[in-house]
């Protein structure tokens, strides 16, 4: 009796799930033919010269060679003479670049396109071509910053220059802002200064578009289409210092545990556990959008996450990227103790880097860490904390507009919202719009994306054309 009741229940559940799956169907994205390819041979040359400006930013701004940022500013002024007349000359920081392009409809809320001008360093010996030479070979432009993210700055200005040359205007007023220190998390000279400049003028934007996800090839097994991932939120950032003290003695007559031993054990315990998985709004939106456009199996799994969650979490946990989408990650990165091999350290410390899911609080993470470490002698201290960003809507007029522009320029791409795992400048603009999106208009596979911050970073000429076309379409529509 009980068994047949259970079997009946399971059957009923399966029926509900299958019906939901079938009813959702595939969404028909109305692809408007807005895009026209802009051949921009000039863009490649400008990007090449932009890469040659060695705009490496440092946590300590006195270490940064600001002359290189001035060189870059002069390069843009010469290369984009029409844009130059719309530059906001000062007030938003000496090394940032900010423009205001008046639109046809002055009543409409303006929008903001952003990018950053700084880059991370490069280990020259490992590169095929010197990282700041801007070498072009076999259809690729090589160089640090060619993809992250000077391509965006150059593509935005090339699109504007081409429209202005034709006597056109954007449909609504557009601000363009390039910050100088995105790669130094926490610094406020770049986007931080620009944001407070905009705030002082009481500006609000219809939407803000920053760097972010790309049009990914072979992103998920079984998906033939390219997937354009648009960040609707980004994870939070926290550095926690672990420390332990002990009375130091000579290493010839040790007593245990040592401070280093305690910290080492704490690190080991943290590594052997992971925080519980959670389905947050951006990831749920991603599953729903991919589910609607995927094969039956994906539709079944992704559209019924209310019940398939344990299976999804199991699969996601086996892949570092997918795991980070459903978990606050906790990883030890630095350790320090005695500076002599025959001296027992009085104090040992370790640094743990945490990336928080939206909705996860600092307190929750610290409590979890304390419980896992299970040693009152190990003290925890938060050294840096930025909460996760607000979550922008993954449906509605603004998101659809962006999605339609993407599909118009990248035919055959499926657009999906997602959660950015890394930090961008976008969060600094949080007070200026409820619609903040993170998307880089280029088509790439994983190996190509992995060159970012790595060796042989590059961008294809085809991607330079695509990026210019995307911005030109977005600006006009």
Q: Which residues bind Zn ion (CB under 5 A)?
A: 148-149, 211
Between residues 313 and 439, which has the closer beta carbon with respect to Zn ion? 439
Kindly name the residue from 68, 182, 226, 448 that is annotated as catalytic: 182
Count CB atoms within 10 A of the CB of residue 58.
16
CB of 185 to Zn ion, least distance (A): 11
The DSSP secondary structure of 211-243, one letter per residue, reads EEEEEEES-STT--SEEEEEEEEE-EEEEEEEE
Which runs of consecutive H residues, i.e. helices, occur in 41-175? 41-52, 66-79, 81-84, 150-165
Between residues 148 and 457, which has the closer beta carbon with respect to Zn ion? 148
Are 442 and 214 a contacting pair, CB within 8 Å? yes
**Burial class, 281, CB count within 10 angstroms (exposed 0-12 / middle 13-18 / buried 19+):** middle
CB of 182 to Zn ion, least distance (A): 6
Are 392 and 402 a contacting pair, CB within 8 Å? no
Q: Give the Cα separation of 472 and 82 in Å (integer).
A: 15
Between residues 178 and 302, which has the closer beta carbon with respect to Zn ion? 178
CB of 213 to Zn ion, least distance (A): 12
Count CB atoms within 10 A of the CB of residue 305.
17
CB of 144 to Zn ion, least distance (A): 11
Between residues 210 and 226, which has the closer beta carbon with respect to Zn ion? 210
Q: Give the Cα separation of 330 and 355 in Å (integer).
A: 7
CB of 193 to Zn ion, least distance (A): 18
CB of 390 to Zn ion, least distance (A): 20
Secondary structure (3-state) at 95: coil
Both tokens of 399, joined, read 């998101």
Rg value, the chain, Cα:
25
Between residues 147 and 198, which has the closer beta carbon with respect to Zn ion? 147
Are 435 and 399 a contacting pair, CB within 8 Å? yes
Establish whether 210 is a catalytic residue.
no
Both tokens of 426, joined, read 């976008």
Cross-strand partners of 351: 241, 334
Instruction: For residue 285, give the nearest of 233, 328, 320 by alpha carbon.
Output: 233
Separation of CA 278 from chain center: 20
Between residues 148 and 234, which has the closer beta carbon with respect to Zn ion? 148
CA atoms within 13 A on the CB side of 313: 15
Between residues 181 and 211, which has the closer beta carbon with respect to Zn ion? 211
Both tokens of 225, joined, read 């289409």
Run of H or E including 381: strand 379-386
Residue showing tokens 């009796």: 1
CA atoms within 13 A on the CB side of 33: 1
Separation of CA 114 from chain center: 13
Between residues 119 and 414, which has the closer beta carbon with respect to Zn ion? 119
Q: Give the Cα separation of 212 and 331 in Å (integer).
A: 23
Establish whether 74 is a catalytic residue.
no
Q: Give the Cα separation of 311 and 314 in Å (integer).
A: 5
Between residues 142 and 313, which has the closer beta carbon with respect to Zn ion? 142
Q: Give the Cα separation of 452 and 347 in Å (integer).
A: 37
Kindly name the residue from 118, 183, 210, 457 that is annotated as catalytic: 118
CB of 234 to Zn ion, least distance (A): 12
CB of 154 to Zn ion, least distance (A): 14
Q: Active-site positions?
A: 118, 182
């Amino acid at each position: 009796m009980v068994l047949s009741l259970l079997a009946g229940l399971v059957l009923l559940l399966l029926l509900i799930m299958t019906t939901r799956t079938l009813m959702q169907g595939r969404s028909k994205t109305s692809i408007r033919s807005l895009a026209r390819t802009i051949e921009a041979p000039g863009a490649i040359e400008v990007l090449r010269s932009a890469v040659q400006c060695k705009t490496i930013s440092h946590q300590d701004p006195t270490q940064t060679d600001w002359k290189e940022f001035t060189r870059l500013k002069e390069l843009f002024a010469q290369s984009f003479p029409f844009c130059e007349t719309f530059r906001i000359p000062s007030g938003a920081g000496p090394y940032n670049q900010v423009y205001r392009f008046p639109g046809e409809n002055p009543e409409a809320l303006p929008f903001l396109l952003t990018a950053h001008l700084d880059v991370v360093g490069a280990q020259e010996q490992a590169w095929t071509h010197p990282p700041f030479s801007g070498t072009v070979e076999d259809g690729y432009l090589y160089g640090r910053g060619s993809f992250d993210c000077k391509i965006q700055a150059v593509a935005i200005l090339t699109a504007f220059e081409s429209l202005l040359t034709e006597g056109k205007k954007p449909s609504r007023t557009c601000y363009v802002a390039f910050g100088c220190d995105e790669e130094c998390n926490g610094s406020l000279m770049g986007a931080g200064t620009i944001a407070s400049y905009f705030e002082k003028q009481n500006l609000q934007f219809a939407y803000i578009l920053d760097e972010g996800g790309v049009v990914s090839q072979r992103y998920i097994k079984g998906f033939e289409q390219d997937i354009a991932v648009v960040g609707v939120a980004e994870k939070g950032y926290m550095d926690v210092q672990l420390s332990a003290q002990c009375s130091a003695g000579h290493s010839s007559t040790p007593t245990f545990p040592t401070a280093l031993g305690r910290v080492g054990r704490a690190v080991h315990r943290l590594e052997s556990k992971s925080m519980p998985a959670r389905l947050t709004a951006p990831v749920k939106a991603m599953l729903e959008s991919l589910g609607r456009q995927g094969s039956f199996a994906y539709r079944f799994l992704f559209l019924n996450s209310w019940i398939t969650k344990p299976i999804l979490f199991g699969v996601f946990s086996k892949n570092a990227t997918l795991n980070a989408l459903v978990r606050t990650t906790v990883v030890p990165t630095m350790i320090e103790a005695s500076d002599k091999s025959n001296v027992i350290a009085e104090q040992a410390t370790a640094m743990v880097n945490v990336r928080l899911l939206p909705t996860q609080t600092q307190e929750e993470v610290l409590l979890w860490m304390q419980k896992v470490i299970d040693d009152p002698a190990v003290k925890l201290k938060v050294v840096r904390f930025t909460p996760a960003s607000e979550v922008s809507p993954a449906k509605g007029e603004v998101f659809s507009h962006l999605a339609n522009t993407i599909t118009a320029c990248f035919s055959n791409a499926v657009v999906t919202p997602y959660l950015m795992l890394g930090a961008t400048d976008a969060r600094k603009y949080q007070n200026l719009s409820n619609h903040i999106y993170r998307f880089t208009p280029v088509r790439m596979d994983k190996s190509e994306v992995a060159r970012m911050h790595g060796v042989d970073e590059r961008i294809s000429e085809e991607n330079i054309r695509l990026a210019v076309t995307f911005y030109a379409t977005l600006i006009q529509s």
